[in-house]
A = this chain, B = another copy of it.
Amino acid sequence: MRIQLDDITGVLAIMPTPATPDAADPSALDTVDHEESRRAVDALIADGVDAVMITGTFGECATLTWDEHRAFVTTVVEQAAGRVPVFAGATTLNTRDTIARARVFADIGVSGLLLGRPMWSPCDDSAVVGYYRDVAAAVPDLGIVVYDNPVSFGGKISPKAYAQLAAIPQVIAAKYPVLGPSFLADLDAMTGRMRLLPVERDWYYTWRWAPDAMTACWSGSASCGPAPAIALRDAIREGRAEDAEAIARGYRHAAQTFFPQGSFELFSKYNVQLEKIRIDEAGYLHAGPSRPPYVECPDAYAEGARESGRRLAELHRKYAAVPTAAR
């Protein structure tokens, strides 16, 4: 049976696609580190995440070859072995290529798609909705998490488009960008038919606004150690607002050095590089080199990412040390 809205709960961890040492070389053709991939899936699940999402932006959906991509999805699905849902990225430059990939992923056994939209030309509302509707019709047994990234995909999804997306049964959630002025209008537009997923850093704040609706988050930093996200989840579930706020503050502290000059636009130029550098510094997983053309990165930005990784590792150690019962 297809994954449902109510299955979207807790911490949806986003994983990198672990890379072999030669992955930055444009002539390398087999750059997925499958062993580390399996280890990463096990670690995240063992540490309590509620779902795994792969091949988004820093999961290098854009830069994996199709052979690598398919093999990696297979590895993750096999390793997860039904313990948690797996969502795989199927974003391409057009509707038909996405459908073709989505069908392969359905056969492999993913629960759903983490799905951005074509970006060569920016899509208007009509193209956005048409695209998701066409994909949903083609792979009716997969859930769809709409990936809303204003820099990568040519603008924020509008409340009007969200209202139409929420009416598509397979569309069960949105990976939401940083909290901005249209948050409440977007949430209203979804009318409870899809889950708005904030980043873990914003979860506490959005939960204060809409405690019934805000029951899950996405977390890229989970790949630096998921313990604080899990602790946050439990605090929110149990209504421990002060504990939740303390964790949110920890996340905000860790984020301070991550966005160059505080700018998401600037960060977006180095999104892949900075996330992988941060993960490798935190040491919970091994992300490895990023794939071409997103290979280089200014030193000062890299150092900001490493400092963020160290802060996240510290947070992970702190919350991992707390026995679950005591949380």
Q: CB within 8 Å of B: which residues of A?
A: 26-27, 29, 57, 61-66, 91-97, 99-100, 117-124, 126-128, 130-131, 134, 138, 151-152, 158-159, 178-182, 184-185, 205, 208-209, 252, 262, 264, 268-272, 291-296
- Report chain B residues within 8 Å CB of A264: 181
- Report chain B residues within 8 Å CB of A26: 95-96, 99, 134, 138
Given A121-B271, A131-B292, verify A96-B29 contact (CB < 8 Å): yes
- Report chain B residues within 8 Å CB of A272: 121
Bound Cα distance from A128 to B294, whole angstroms: 9
A-B contact pairs, 27 of them (CB 8 A): A61-B93, A62-B120, A62-B121, A63-B118, A95-B292, A118-B294, A119-B120, A120-B152, A121-B269, A121-B271, A122-B151, A122-B269, A123-B294, A124-B296, A126-B296, A127-B269, A127-B293, A128-B293, A130-B292, A130-B295, A131-B292, A131-B293, A158-B262, A180-B181, A181-B264, A184-B205, A185-B262
Apart from A184-B252, A208-B208, 6 more pairs, CB < 8 Å:
A57-B121, A64-B94, A95-B293, A122-B269, A158-B262, A178-B181
Bound Cα distance from A1 to B151, whole angstroms: 41
- Report chain B residues within 8 Å CB of A131: 292-293
Complex partner residue of A63 from B93, B159, B205, CB under 8 angstroms: B93
- Report chain B residues within 8 Å CB of A119: 119-120
The 9 nearest A-B residue pairs measured at CB: A208-B208, A62-B120, A95-B292, A63-B94, A131-B293, A62-B93, A26-B134, A127-B293, A126-B296
Bound Cα distance from A270 to B99, whole angstroms: 22
Bound Cα distance from A179 to B182, whole angstroms: 9
Bound Cα distance from A181 to B206, whole angstroms: 12
Instruction: Tell me the minimal C-beta distance from A106 to chain B in angstroms.
Output: 16
Bound Cα distance from A192 to B57, whole angstroms: 38
Instruction: Tell me the minimal C-beta distance from A99 to chain B in angstroms.
Output: 6
Bound Cα distance from A268 to B99, whole angstroms: 24
Instruction: Tell me the minimal C-beta distance from A217 to chain B in angstroms.
Output: 16
Instruction: Tell me the minimal C-beta distance from A281 to chain B in angstroms.
Output: 20
Instruction: Tell me the minimal C-beta distance from A58 to chain B in angstroms.
Output: 9
Instruction: Tell me the minimal C-beta distance from A271 to chain B in angstroms.
Output: 5
Cβ of B63 and Cβ of A96 under 8 Å apart? yes
- Report chain B residues within 8 Å CB of A182: 262
Complex partner residue of A269 from B97, B124, B185, CB under 8 angstroms: B124
